[in-house]
């Protein structure tokens, strides 16, 4: 007498119960049944149950709907109905059919595992996106508060103490670093304040991420020694391990900026190579990394190489349509063309660059575009047009108290005036540069060069050659990060 074939649901219920180490009596009690007879009937195949009812029986013993579906699917692969074949000279024997079945099972296991891994990645990504949207919403209100109040709110309300909020505050620090290193550092430290209050399991990785942003803010503030120490701390904490919910490429990218400013160019490029590996597949990451690589090559005075990198970055940035990235792409291209004395090509880019700056609503960027245009005009012999624009640029930088930019734009203007044989006008400019000598964070070597020029200008003995030497010296100091 042949044994009864059990349905998939009966086998699944028995497997799930025994896998959890739960006996039938305990299982029945968890379901609220007086006795185990109903479960016994189901497991013996005497009573049919639907998939949904099976799920409701599995949940009290800690099993998920996904586990039920996986077992039912696997059963359909293992226990399938044989294919009826008519007489054929190429019919398959039992051994050959067995090989096919084993192959199908192996493939099913591989596919199921691949699908599981992909679904886990998708689900984690979805949860991360939800967390980031919530952090964005919360930060829109929190950023309006003073720092003590932010800390107080984060201490009281758990919704502010999330990895996504720490990440969002780090992003605010990076943006603020463009014009205020002190505020950037304050933001990065607030992000660490949040990270320090996260659950222990993944806390070190978030802390490491925040320390990298502290190092970045210290770099912008020219505190390179502290920045070095912060990155050491960042990598120590990051290497404690954890999931990939934070972008590792960002840490490499931030450290690359520090190495660039320290003139450690091979190390900067090495960090960018690592950032590229960890950021692959992320178009925004790729665009940022390529722009950084261009910046390093420009600092190395390799404008041809910088242009090649911008050519590589262009399709990515155009596809993204991000105004900040588009401005950087087009401004940097024009700047490198000027460095190669390709003035006409640079001038053709100016209207587009100006449009991007206007979209950003960034007055300082607009001033830099005017400076760009002035250099393009000067290189083509359109001296008066160039001087008119440089007057505006010098005035704007002076009003904003930007010493290096003010000094260099003034020297560009003085150079054109001297070439035009107007030394008296250069003499009149000298007193307007006196404020630079009292400016913070301008290196002594730059001040010495500028003082010699101003003294010569006052005596109307400044020459074109001296002006060019002064520009070269100040640009060298600035390029070397000594400001």
Rounded CA separation 249/287 (Å): 12
**pLDDT of the residue at 386:** 96
Give me the pLDDT at residue 84, please.
59
Fold (topology level) of 131-246: 1.25.40
What gap in Å lies between CA 426 and CA 410, rounded to an integer? 9
pLDDT for 438 = 80
Neighbour-count burial for 72-96, b at 16+ CB within 10 Å, e otherwise:
bebbeeeeeeeeeeeeeeeeeeeee
Token pair in block for residue 164 = 């996504």
Handedness of CA 383, 384, 389, 392 (dihedral sign): positive
Q: Is the model's pLDDT at 112 over the cut of 80?
A: no
Are 62 and 16 in contact, with CB atoms under 8 Å apart?
Answer: no
Q: pTM for the full model?
A: 0.71
Domain ranges across the chain: 1-77, 131-246, 321-381, 392-483
Q: How far apart (Å, rounded) are the C-alpha atoms in residues 145 and 394?
A: 36
Task: Report the topology of domain 1-77.
Answer: 434 Repressor (Amino-terminal Domain) (1.10.260)
469-479 tens-digit pLDDT = 999 998 888 76
Q: What is the C-alpha separation between 205 and 235, in angstroms, rounded?
A: 9
Supply φ then ψ for residue 85, to 5 degrees: -120, 145
Q: At what angle do helices 303-320 and 323-339 cross, to 10 degrees?
A: 160
Per the prediction, the chain carries an average pLDDT of: 88
Mean pLDDT of 442-464: 89
Is residue 335 scored above 90 in pLDDT? yes
* 243 burial type by CB count under 10 A (0-12 exposed, 13-18 middle, 19+ buried): exposed
Q: What is the pLDDT, as a whole number, of residue 482?
A: 46
User: What pLDDT band is residue 80 in, cutting at 50, 70 and 90?
Assistant: low
Q: What percent of the chain has pLDDT over 90?
A: 55
Task: State the pLDDT at residue 90.
Answer: 76
């Amino acid at each position: 007498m042949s044994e009864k074939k059990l349905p998939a649901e009966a086998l699944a219920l028995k497997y799930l119960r025994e896998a959890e180490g739960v006996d039938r009596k305990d299982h029945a009690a968890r379901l609220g049944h007086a006795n185990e007879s109903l479960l016994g009937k189901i497991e013996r195949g005497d009573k049919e149950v639907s998939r949904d009812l099976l799920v409701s029986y599995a949940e009290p013993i800690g099993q998920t709907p996904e586990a039920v579906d996986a077992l039912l699917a696997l059963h359909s692969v293992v226990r399938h109905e044989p294919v009826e074949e008519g007489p054929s000279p190429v019919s398959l024997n039992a051994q050959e059919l067995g090989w096919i079945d084993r192959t199908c099972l192996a493939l099913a296991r591989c596919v199921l595992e691949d699908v599981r891994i992909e679904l886990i990645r998708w689900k984690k990504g979805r949860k991360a996106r939800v967390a980031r949207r919530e952090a964005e919403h919360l930060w829109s209100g929190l950023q309006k508060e003073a720092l003590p109040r932010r800390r107080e709110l984060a201490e009281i309300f758990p919704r502010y103490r999330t990895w996504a909020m720490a990440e969002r505050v780090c992003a605010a620090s990076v943006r603020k670093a463009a014009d205020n290193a002190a505020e950037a550092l304050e933001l990065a430290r607030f992000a660490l304040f949040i990270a320090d209050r996260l659950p222990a399991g993944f806390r070190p990785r978030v802390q490491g991420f925040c320390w990298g942003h502290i190092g970045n803010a210290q770099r912008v503030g020219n505190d390179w020694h502290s920045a070095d120490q912060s990155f050491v701390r960042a990598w120590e904490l990051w290497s404690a391990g954890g999931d990939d919910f934070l972008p590792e490429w960002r840490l490499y990218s931030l450290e690359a900026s520090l190495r660039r400013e320290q003139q450690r160019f091979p190390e900067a490029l090495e960090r960018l190579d690592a950032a590229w590996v960890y950021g692959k597949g992320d178009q925004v990451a790729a665009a940022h990394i390529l722009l950084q690589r261009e910046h390093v090559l420009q600092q190395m005075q390799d404008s041809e190489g910088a242009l090649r990198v911008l050519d590589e970055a262009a399709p990515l940035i155009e596809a993204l349509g991000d105004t900040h990235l588009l401005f950087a792409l087009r401004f940097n291209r024009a700047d490198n063309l000027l460095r190669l004395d390709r003035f006409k090509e640079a001038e053709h880019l100016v209207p587009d660059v100006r449009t991007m700056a206007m979209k950003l609503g960034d007055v300082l960027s607009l001033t830099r575009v005017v400076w760009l245009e002035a250099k393009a005009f000067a290189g083509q012999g359109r001296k008066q047009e160039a001087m008119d624009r440089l007057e505006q640029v010098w005035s704007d930088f002076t009003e904003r108290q930007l010493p290096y930019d003010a000094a260099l734009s003034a020297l560009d203007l003085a150079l054109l005036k001297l070439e035009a044989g107007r030394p008296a006008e250069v003499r009149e400019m000298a007193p307007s540069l006196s404020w630079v000598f009292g400016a913070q964070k301008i290196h002594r070597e730059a001040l010495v060069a500028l003082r010699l020029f101003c003294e010569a200008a006052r005596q109307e003995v400044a020459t074109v050659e001296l002006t060019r030497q002064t520009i070269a010296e100040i640009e060298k100091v600035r390029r070397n990060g000594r400001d």
